[in-house]
């Protein structure tokens, strides 16, 4: 774990891990496309009906696949870079910053 954190801090990246993350993004986008097509067909069936559990699950899979797939494909390992966190202002006992 220490070597992984040290690698993240220094910015050294494995090209294989980056490719694997981006391929995972492509697979998630494919899952999004399949779920969206199935959901479209299911909603446009002839008899009007309230949403079934499968349709709600397909909607969840479609949105999550789109969000995660796009971010993994576009950024790859950059999602896991450490970001600097600014210091905080001192706060007194009442919770008010000075």
Q: Where are the domains of the chain?
A: 15-78
**Is residue 95 a contact partner of residue 54, using CB atoms and an 8 Å limit?**
no
Model confidence band, residue 96 (pLDDT cutoffs 50, 70, 90): low
Which candidate, 79, 63, 77, 75, places its Cα nearest to that of 28? 63
Residue 91, pLDDT score: 67
Q: Kindly tell me if the per-residue pLDDT of 20 is higher than 70.
A: yes
- From 2-6, 29-33, 46-50, the region with the lowest mean pLDDT: 2-6
Residue 23, pLDDT score: 92
Model confidence band, residue 2 (pLDDT cutoffs 50, 70, 90): confident
Q: Once rounded to an integer, what is the mean pLDDT over residues 26-41? A: 89
Q: Once rounded to an integer, what is the mean pLDDT over residues 88-92? A: 68
The mean pLDDT value of the chain amounts to 81
Q: Rounded to the nearest 5 degrees, what angle is found at the Cα of 96, between the Cα atoms of 94 and 97?
A: 140
Which candidate, 98, 74, 80, 66, places its Cα nearest to that of 9? 80
Which candidate, 72, 85, 86, 81, places its Cα nearest to that of 5? 81
Estimate the crossing angle of helix 53-75 against helix 15-43, to 10 degrees: 150
Distance CA 58, CA 37 (A): 10
Q: Using one digit for the tens of pLDDT, what is the confidence trace for 37-60?
A: 988 888 887 777 788 898 888 889
């Amino acid at each position: 774990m220490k070597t992984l954190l040290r690698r993240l801090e220094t910015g050294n990246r494995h090209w294989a891990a980056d490719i694997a993350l981006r391929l995972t993004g492509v697979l998630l986008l494919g899952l999004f496309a399949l779920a969206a097509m199935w959901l479209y067909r299911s909603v446009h069936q002839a008899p009007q009906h309230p949403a079934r559990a499968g349709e709600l699950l397909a909607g969840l899979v479609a949105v999550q696949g789109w969000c995660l797939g796009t971010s993994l494909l576009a950024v790859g390992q950059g999602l896991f870079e450490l970001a600097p966190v600014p210091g905080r202002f001192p706060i007194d006992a009442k919770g008010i910053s000075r």
